[in-house]
Amino acid sequence: MNTFSLIKKSRPKLKAGDYFYYTLNNRNYVGVVIHTHLQKNLKENTAVVCLFLDYTFDDVKNISVEEIKKNIIDKKLLIPPIIINKRGWTCGFFCNIGNFDLDSVYDTLSACRFSTDGGGYMYDFINYVPTTNIFDSKLIGKTGIFAWEGAESLLQMTLDLDFNPSVPHGSWYDPYRYYDDIKKKNPEMELPFWYYKAEERLQGEK
C-alpha cells in the first residue's frame, strides 16, 4: 500500500492542463501537468512539470476541475513542483482523466521556480531562465528530471509511509537540501511542511 498502484499502462502525448490520478496507500490523488517541455534542449514530453495536489477522491466522476484550480491557487500541494519523465504513465501508475485551460491559475504557476541542488541558481517556470525573484517556498522545485520512483519517495515522506524497499535510500538521500541555501539567502522565508517531514524522517533513516 505504500507504493504506487498499477492502474493502466499508456503512452499519452501529454499537454499542459492534463490532470491525472494515481493511487497510493489505498487512496486516489490528483496530479496536474503544467508544462511538457520545460528544458528546451530535451525532446518533447521528456521534462514534464507536475503538481501533486492534496486532493483525494473516491470516484473519478466526482473530480471537480474547479476544485483542482482552487487547490492550485491555494497551493495545496503534497510535494513541490517536480520535473518528471513519462515513465509514470508508461509504467501504468498515472492515468490521465482530462484537460483544462491553465489561464485561470497563471498567477500561481508564474511564481513556480526551480533551484539547483545547492540553491545557487534559480530558474523561473515560464521561460526557464535565471531569476532572483522568489515568492513562496511551496512553489520551489528542484532542477533535474525524476522518474516515478523519485516522486513516490517524496510522497511517501509527506504521507508518513514506509519507503519502497526496492529503492535504496542511504545517507546521500536528501532531496530537499536545496532549501537550506534558499533559507540562508532568504531567512524570513517559511519553509514548507514537507521539508520538516523529510528532515525528521531522514534523520531516522541515516
Over the stretch 138-184, which tens digit does the pLDDT of each residue have? Answer: 999 998 899 999 999 999 999 999 887 666 676 678 899 999 988 98
What are the cell numbers at 88?
509514470
Decide: helix, strand or coil at residue 28: strand
Q: Are strands 27-35 and 18-24 parallel, antiparallel or unpaired?
A: antiparallel
What are the cell numbers at 31?
496530479
Q: Are strands 95-99 and 48-57 parallel, antiparallel or unpaired?
A: unpaired
Which residues of the chain, if any, have pLDDT below 70? 118-120, 165-168, 170-171, 204-206
What are the cell numbers at 52?
501533486
Instruction: Give pLDDT tens digits for 72-84.
Output: 999 999 999 999 9
Q: Is 83 in contact with 146 (CB distance < 8 Å)? A: yes
Q: At what angle do helices 193-205 and 148-158 cross, to 10 degrees?
A: 100
Q: Which residues contact 3 (CB under 8 A, 6 or more apart)?
A: 24, 152, 164
The residue ranges of every structural domain in the chain are 18-205
pTM of the entire structure? 0.93
